[in-house]
Chain A
Amino acid sequence: MNNFSAKVDQFVDIVVNQGGSNKIIEGLQNTLLIAILGLIIGIIIGTLIATVRVVPKYKMLPRVLNAICSFYVGLFRGTPMVVQLLVFYYVLLPLLNMQMTGVKVSILVFGLNSGAYISEIMRSGIQSVDPGQMEAGRAVGLSFATTMRMIVIPQAVKNILPTLGNEFIQLIKETSVVSFVGASDLYVAFNYIGTNSYEFMVPYLAMAAIYIVLVVLISLGIKLMERSLRKSDRGH
Chain B
Amino acid sequence: MIEVIDLKKDFGNHHVIKGINIKINKGDITVITGPSGSGKSTFLRCLNCMEDPTSGQIIFNGVNIADMKIDINVHRRHIGMVFQHFNLFNNKTVLDNVSLAPIHVRIKDKNDKTPKKKIIEEEHARAMELLRRIGLDGKAEAYPSTLSGGQKQRVAIIRALAMNPDVILFDEPTSALDPEMVGEVLDLIREVAEDGMTMVIVTHEMGFAKEVANRVLFIDDGRIKEDESPEEFFNNPSDPRLREFLSKVLV
State the A residues within 8 Å of B (CB).
130, 132-133, 135-143, 146, 150-151, 154-155, 158, 232-236
Contact = CB atoms under 8 A, between A and B. Distances in A.
Given A135-B50, A151-B92, A235 B145 contact: yes
Contacts of A142: 73, 101, 104
B215 to A, nearest CB: 23
A133 B90 CA distance: 8
Contact of B85 (A132, A140, A154, A155): A132
Nearest to B162: A140
B142 A139 contact: no
Contacts of B87: 130, 132-133, 135-136
Interface stretch (B11-19, B76-84, B188-196, B232-240): B76-84
Given A132-B85, A139-B48, A140-B159, A234 B146 contact: yes
Contact of A140 (B74, B77, B145): B77
Contacts of B50: 135, 138-139
Which residue of B89, B93, B145 has the most chain A CB atoms within 10 A of its CB atom? Answer: B89
B245 interface: no
Nearest to B73: A141
Given A133-B89, A146-B104, A138 B76 contact: yes
B130 interface: no
A55 to B, nearest CB: 15
Contacts of A135: 50, 83, 87
A233 B77 contact: no
A150 B89 CA distance: 9
B105 interface: yes
Contacts of B104: 142, 146, 150
B143 A140 contact: no
A130 B77 CA distance: 22
